[in-house]
Amino acid sequence: MLLDRSVLLTLGGLCSTHAFAIPPRKGTALSKIGTQEHLFPFLGGAAPYFSYPGSYGIPIGPPSHCELQQIQLLARHGERYPTKSSGKKLMKTWNKLKEYPHSFNGSLSFINDDYEFFVRENENLEMETSLKNSVNALNPYSGEMDAKRHAQQFLALYEGFLEGNREFAVFASSSERVHDTAEFFIESLGDKFQVSLQVVSEDPSAGANTLSAGYACPAWDPDAYTEIIGNYSTKYLTDIAERLNNENRGLNLTESDANNLFSWCAYELNAQGYSDMCDVFTMEELIHYSYNDDLSSYYQDGPGYSMIQAVGANYFNASLKLLKESDRLDQKVWLSFTHDTDILNYLTTVGLFDDGHKLNATYVPFRNHVFHKSWIIPQGARVYTQKFQCDNESYVRYVVNDAVIPLESCSEGPGFSCKAENFYKYAGERLAGQNFLEACNTSSVSNNTELTFFWDWKSAHYNASLLNE
Ligand SMILES: Cc1ncc(C[n+]2csc(CCOP(=O)(O)OP(=O)(O)O)c2C)c(N)n1
């Protein structure tokens, strides 16, 4: 087996301190690390981070004759273990497989080879994957590494701008994995920065003063569009279950077991760096899974659910206010960390991934399809808003997962940006009539009617208790 130099170096380091830490069988497994990245876009946003696959090729640094005025980031936490509820479902399927009394044939035969389920401790559920809790010490996809790498890319890209902006607050919602991501990111920035981490409550009682408007939205109904979503054919799941059951007489996998195997594959990648379970699927099945996931996100948290534009307005209003006040505010760098659905809600209000075609449940659209959920909010997703000045004129644009995504109706500026004046007009139109508090019935859970933490963190000191959710 050929290992690349970085793996050998890491192995060398590990071997000196833990001479017997790596069981010999893992040798074969190690060679699989890095070979499954082509599957990441098909795993519904649960796979490790990957850059936006549909990049238009626009350089993501500020255009050469322009000077940055403000940077905002809204990022998802990094790679993680399954949530408690998805862990429960996975355990059910794993118990079925564990109790199968015969050797496995076909794509499940890796289980014969002393396979150990990747969630080794229940307390890992909901948590960010780290060097410490990863199944495999060489896991290149841990949330910890992702956040630290992201911070290094951030430093490299904005080097000059950060020179004069070394003191700022970073905001994290109060989920433990979100908080941990922010901490890893800050740690990686290094000691030249004075960063104050503000942990903003994501309890419903936070109301509008939150990075997670979804939790303060009792009116949100996950089943509002079940009828449309439910029309998507799940034949791909039946096919998988049947294939595995035919290969293994007496195995009784159901459609929902087959569905669980996809998140098994994704989360095992987060925790271990590779997953034999990913090899169970054909590419066609992965495409179906991925589109099925697009469909449900589109109608639960995206442009397909009319209420979402109001939910995302809570953060977009604040972002817009920061942009307008950029000259006046001392802080020029606004970094925030939260959950996937919150970012999706916000981007829905911005209208960045809505081409006006409603997603349909009768076929997979290939040509007219911009709403790829996994491309937008993979683990570690990062949405930057850049405001820069070129020849006395200000411009705004978005960079999503390492790709500039121009606004379709406003991209005449340098680097396909939008003139600030026109951007404010555009944003005003997207926000017109969008009332988060009313649409969500937030007053039934909180009296907070405004997002203020960006402006009052120095006096309010946000230090919410961390939640395991
Ligand atoms: C508008 C809206 N309100 C409420 C919810 C309920 N909800 C489900 S998951 C979630 C946040 C955390 O989601 P998770 O899938 O654990 O995302 P991750 O932490 O992996 O980013 C919320 C608020 C929602 N999805 N959308």
Annotated catalytic residue 77: yes
Ligand 1 atom nearest 80 alpha carbon? 20
334 lines ligand 1 (CB under 6 A): no
Q: How far is CA 18 from the centre of its chain?
A: 33
CA distances from 247 to 103, 107, 244, 261, 446 (A): 11, 9, 5, 16, 54
| Percent above pLDDT 70 for the chain | 94
Q: How far apart are the first and last CA of the chain?
A: 41
Assess if residue 253 is contained within a domain: yes
Q: Is the pLDDT of residue 6 over 70?
A: no
Quick one: DSSP state of residue 153?
A: H
Ligand 1 atom nearest 76 alpha carbon? 21
Torsion of CA 452, 314, 49, 200, to 10 degrees: 30
**Segments in 248-307 forming alpha helices (H):** 255-272, 283-301
The CATH number of whichever domain residue 264 belongs to comes to: 3.40.50.1240
Q: How confident is the model at residue 457 (pLDDT cuts 50, 70, 90)?
A: very high
Assess if residue 468 is contained within a domain: no
The rounded Å distance from CA 119 to ligand 1 centre is 22
Q: How confident is the model at residue 137 (pLDDT cuts 50, 70, 90)?
A: confident
List pLDDT tens digits, range 281-312: 999 999 999 999 999 999 999 999 999 999 99
List pLDDT tens digits, range 86-126: 999 999 999 999 999 999 999 999 999 899 999 999 999 99
346 lines ligand 1 (CB under 6 A): no
Pairing relation of β-strands 333-338 and 167-173? parallel
Query: Using CA atoms, how far apart are residues 216 and 201, in angstroms rounded to an integer?
Result: 11
DSSP codes of every residue in 29-48:
HHTTTTS-GGGGGGSTT-SP
123, 133 in Cβ contact below 8 A?
no
311 lines ligand 1 (CB under 6 A): yes
**Segments in 302-335 forming alpha helices (H):** 308-324
* Complex confidence, ipTM: 0.98
139, 10 in Cβ contact below 8 A?
no
CB atoms within 10 A of CB 83: 17
Assess if residue 465 is contained within a domain: no
Query: Using CA atoms, how far apart are residues 174 and 77, in angstroms rounded to an integer?
Result: 11
Whether this model's pTM surpasses 0.90: yes
76 lines ligand 1 (CB under 6 A): yes
Domain span at residue 448 reads 5-460
| Ligand 1 atom 9: residue of nearest CA | 341
Assess if residue 469 is contained within a domain: no
Query: Using CA atoms, how far apart are residues 213 and 448, in angstroms rounded to an integer?
Result: 12
DSSP codes of every residue in 230-262:
TTS--HHHHHHHHHHHHHSTT----HHHHHHHH
The rounded Å distance from CA 338 to ligand 1 centre is 10
> Among the listed ranges 26-35, 156-165, 435-444, which one has the minimum average pLDDT value?
26-35
Domain count, the chain: 1
> Which two three-digit tokens encode residue 469?
């959710």
317, 431 in Cβ contact below 8 A?
yes
Q: How far is CA 249 from the centre of its chain?
A: 39
List pLDDT tens digits, range 154-182: 999 999 999 999 999 999 999 999 999 99
Query: Using CA atoms, how far apart are residues 158 and 264, in angstroms rounded to an integer?
Result: 37
Please calculate the CA angle 21-27-31 and round it to the nearest 5 degrees.
130
* Residue-level pLDDT at 55: 96
Q: Specify the higher pLDDT residue, 335 or 7.
A: 335
Quick one: DSSP state of residue 136?
A: S
DSSP codes of every residue in 395-459:
EEEEEETTEEE-BTTB--SGGG-EEHHHHHHHHHHHHTT--HHHHHTGGGT----S--HHHHHHH
> Which two three-digit tokens encode residue 155?
């430093």
Assess if residue 36 is contained within a domain: yes
> Which two three-digit tokens encode residue 217?
């939205």
Q: Is the pLDDT of residue 11 over 50?
A: no
Residue whose CB lies within 8 A of the most ligand 1 atoms, among 178, 339, 349, for a mutation test:
339
347 lines ligand 1 (CB under 6 A): no
Query: Using CA atoms, how far apart are residues 259 and 257, in angstroms rounded to an integer?
Result: 5
Q: Is the pLDDT of residue 14 over 90?
A: no
* Residue-level pLDDT at 29: 75
Annotated catalytic residue 369: no
Half-sphere CA count of 426, side-chain side, radius 13 A: 20
The helix (H) or strand (E) run that includes residue 186 is: helix 176-189
> Which two three-digit tokens encode residue 358?
């409603």
* Residue-level pLDDT at 8: 37
Assess if residue 467 is contained within a domain: no
Assess if residue 274 is contained within a domain: yes
Assess if residue 210 is contained within a domain: yes
**Site of tokens 């307390």:** 123
